[in-house]
C-alpha cells in the first residue's frame, strides 16, 4: 500500500501528490497583501489571456474561483471584487500587464504559495473546460516569473511542446 497511513500516527496524512491536506492553508497567510495581489493578478492575467473577458467567461471564472481554498483564506468576496477590478484594469490599460506580472513575481520566494498561485490560475484557465493556447502561454509565463518548472506542473510536454 503506497498511500497507507497509521491513524494513530502523529504524522499528518498526505495526499497522493505527497502534500499534507493542510499544506494549502499553511502556504497562505490571511491578510497578506502580497499573496492576495499575486493570486488575484495571476487569475486576471489568465482570464484576460485572449485580450478580453466576456460576461459568460466572468461568470464561469467566478464560479470556479469560489471553489478555490485560497479564497476562504483571503475572503471570497474580496478576492472576486479584486479580480473584477484587475480584469477591468487589464482591459483599459496595456501597461497593467506589467503591473500584474510584478505582483505575481513578489511571491517567487514563497515556493508553496507560488505553486498555489499557478494552481489557481490553472483552475481559472480550465473554467471553460479547456486550456486554450493563449491561456497556456500565460501560465507558462507565470511559471517563469515564479521560478517554477512548467514541465513539472505538466503545462508543457517534456520536449517543450
49 in Cβ contact with 113 (< 8 Å): no
Q: With 80 as the cut, is the pLDDT of residue 10 above it?
A: no
Q: Poorest-confidence range of 26-35, 67-76, 119-128, 148-157?
A: 148-157
DSSP state of 13: P
**Over the range 136-145, which residues count as b (16 or more CB within 10 Å of their CB) and which as e?**
bebbbbbbeb
Distance between the two ends of the chain, CA-based, in angstroms? 35
Q: How far apart are CA 71 and CA 120, in angstroms?
A: 10
Q: With 90 as the cut, is the pLDDT of residue 81 above it?
A: yes
29-53 pLDDT tens trace: 888 999 999 999 999 999 999 888 8
Among 124, 44, 135, CA closest to 92: 44
Amino acid at each position: 500500500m503506497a498511500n497507507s497511513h497509521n491513524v494513530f500516527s502523529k504524522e499528518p496524512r498526505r495526499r497522493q501528490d505527497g502534500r499534507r491536506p493542510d499544506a494549502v492553508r499553511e502556504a497562505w497567510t490571511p491578510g497578506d497583501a502580497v499573496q492576495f495581489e499575486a493570486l488575484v493578478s495571476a487569475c486576471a492575467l489568465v482570464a484576460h489571456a485572449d485580450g478580453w473577458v466576456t460576461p459568460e467567461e466572468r461568470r464561469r471564472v467566478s464560479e470556479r474561483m469560489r471553489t478555490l481554498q485560497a479564497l476562504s483564506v483571503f475572503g471570497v468576496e474580496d478576492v472576486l471584487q479584486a479580480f473584477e477590478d484587475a480584469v477591468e484594469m487589464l482591459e483599459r490599460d496595456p501597461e497593467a500587464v506589467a503591473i500584474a506580472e510584478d505582483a505575481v513575481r513578489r511571491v517567487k520566494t514563497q515556493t508553496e504559495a507560488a505553486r498555489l498561485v499557478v494552481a489557481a490560475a490553472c483552475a481559472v484557465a480550465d473554467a471553460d473546460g479547456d486550456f486554450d493556447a493563449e491561456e497556456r502561454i500565460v501560465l507558462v509565463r507565470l511559471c517563469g516569473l515564479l521560478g517554477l518548472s512548467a514541465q513539472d506542473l505538466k503545462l508543457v510536454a517534456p520536449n517543450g511542446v
